[in-house]
């Protein structure tokens, strides 16, 4: 009798337990939020380190130091006072935690705060952070990326101009490989004109889809992009819009994009506006290098300047150049090399080689390659010449003997 009772009791308990288990299972399926929240919190605790709103620079650096290569440090919204170097760690990424950019603010510094890095910023991604009055100087790093960042309020050193202060670019990569700057916004204000990105002796760099200035309050650029790359550099899809009022200050005007001493450079699909059509301006200036392709760009107010100067002994030439399919919008035609596409050489020891200018649209512009120093045979070599360009109401000024056809 006792045995039978125990059996019945166990059977009843099993039925009750099974019923509650089925009920709980059904509730979880209907409302999975608690489980999902627990899972998300657990993953965040394991995978990421967090810089919390209100942290000091020392605390920020401690959080980064606690992360391991391959991990991401998340930054909560807020404005963080930055008084010194943000100490990066190779392979550790820094990214915003929410849709709101956190602000790293060094406005209290009298001049732009320069943070110097070497391999300690290799393989780091910085994403979705706003930097005020902060400059990154990176030497010998590899695989460093900046995406969706904003750079603003950089302060110019007093009494400096474009030649005696070359340390005004927000991002400077030197002797670096696989650098990437993508979808960032760069701003310079009226009291402090400056530069955006500078590549020096780099390899495999990409500057793509960024915005430099708005043509007004944030458009006070000396130069947006400087390129002195060693090989395989791509500048593509960027928008450069300078405040034209800065052209009144010649000492702070130095071309929209300025490239020299390069080997392997593509400048494509960019839109450049606001630089003056004179020797201190030009939307794009390229000099003393080789393997250059300038194509598919829309250039407003000024055009393309190609130079071969005698004062660059490492690259005493300009060779294998293609300038094609660009649209250049000039207010009115002018009989010079600045209002369209111009080539000039003062180097008498070496010469240009294979300069091809084809299929460009510049109805009010000028194509100029008329200097007495030009070696016609070398200009024409390997398909060089001037072909199929629209200069309907402009000028075609070429040294006798330069190949040309189909221009209208």
pLDDT at site 169: 98
Q: Distance between alpha carbon 392 and the CA centroid of its chain, in Å?
A: 35
3-state secondary structure 224-261: CEEEECCECEEEECCEEECCHHHHHCHHHCCCCEEEEC
Domains of the chain: 114-405 (2.160.20)
pLDDT at site 26: 38
Q: What is the pTM of this model?
A: 0.88
Spatial distance between the Cα atoms of 300 and 395, rounded to a whole number of angstroms: 18
CA angle 400–404–406, rounded 5-degree value: 145
> Dihedrals φ, ψ of 18, to 5°?
-65, -40
pLDDT digit string, tens, across residues 205-244: 999 999 999 999 999 999 999 999 999 999 999 999 999 9
pLDDT at site 48: 64
**Cβ atoms of 213 and 188 closer than 8 Å:** yes
Positions of the chain with pLDDT lower than 50, given as ranges: 1-47
pLDDT at site 44: 43
pLDDT at site 310: 86
pLDDT at site 400: 98
Asked whether the CA dihedral 247, 164, 137, 291 is positive or negative, the reply is positive
Max CA pair span of the chain: 122
């Amino acid at each position: 009798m006792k045995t039978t009772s125990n059996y019945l009791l166990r059977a009843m308990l099993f039925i009750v337990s099974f019923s509650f288990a089925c009920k709980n299972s059904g509730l979880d399926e209907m409302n999975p939020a608690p489980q999902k929240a627990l899972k998300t919190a657990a993953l965040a605790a394991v995978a990421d380190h967090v810089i919390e709103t209100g942290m000091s620079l020392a605390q920020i650096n401690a959080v980064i130091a606690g992360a391991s290569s391959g991990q991401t440090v998340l930054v909560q919204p807020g404005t963080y006072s930055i008084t010194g170097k943000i100490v990066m760690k190779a392979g550790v990424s820094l990214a915003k935690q929410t849709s709101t950019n956190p602000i790293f603010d060094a406005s209290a510094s009298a001049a732009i705060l320069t943070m110097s890095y070497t391999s300690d910023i290799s393989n780091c991604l910085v994403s979705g952070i706003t930097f005020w009055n902060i400059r990154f100087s990176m030497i010998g790093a590899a695989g460093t990326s900046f995406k969706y960042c904003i750079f603003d309020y950089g302060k110019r050193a007093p009494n400096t101009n474009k030649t005696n202060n070359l340390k005004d670019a927000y991002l400077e990569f030197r002797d670096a490989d696989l650098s990437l700057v993508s979808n960032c916004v760069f701003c310079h204000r009226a009291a402090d004109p400056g530069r955006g990105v500078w590549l020096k002796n780099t390899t495999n760099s990409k500057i793509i889809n960024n915005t430099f200035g708005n043509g007004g309050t944030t458009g006070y650029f000396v130069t947006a992009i400087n390129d002195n790359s060693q090989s395989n550099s791509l500048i593509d899809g960027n928008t450069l819009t300078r405040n034209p009022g800065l052209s009144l200050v010649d000492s702070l005007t130095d071309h929209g994009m300025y490239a020299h001493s390069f080997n392997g450079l593509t400048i494509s699909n960019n839109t450049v506006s606001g630089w003056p059509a004179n020797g201190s301006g030009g939307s794009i200036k390229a000099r003393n290098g080789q393997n250059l392709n300038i194509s598919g760009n829309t250039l407003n107010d000024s055009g393309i300047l190609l130079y071969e100067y005698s004062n660059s002994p490492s690259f005493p030439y300009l060779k294998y150049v293609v300038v094609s399919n660009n649209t250049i919008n000039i207010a009115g035609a002018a009989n010079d090399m600045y209002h369209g596409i111009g080539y000039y050489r003062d180097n008498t020891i070496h010469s240009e080689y294979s300069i091809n200018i084809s299929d460009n649209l510049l109805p009010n512009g000028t194509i100029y390659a008329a200097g007495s120093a030009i070696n016609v045979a070398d200009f024409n070599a390997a398909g060089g010449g001037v072909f199929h360009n629209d200069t309907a109401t402009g000028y075609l000024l070429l040294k006798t003997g330069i190949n040309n056809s189909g221009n209208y």
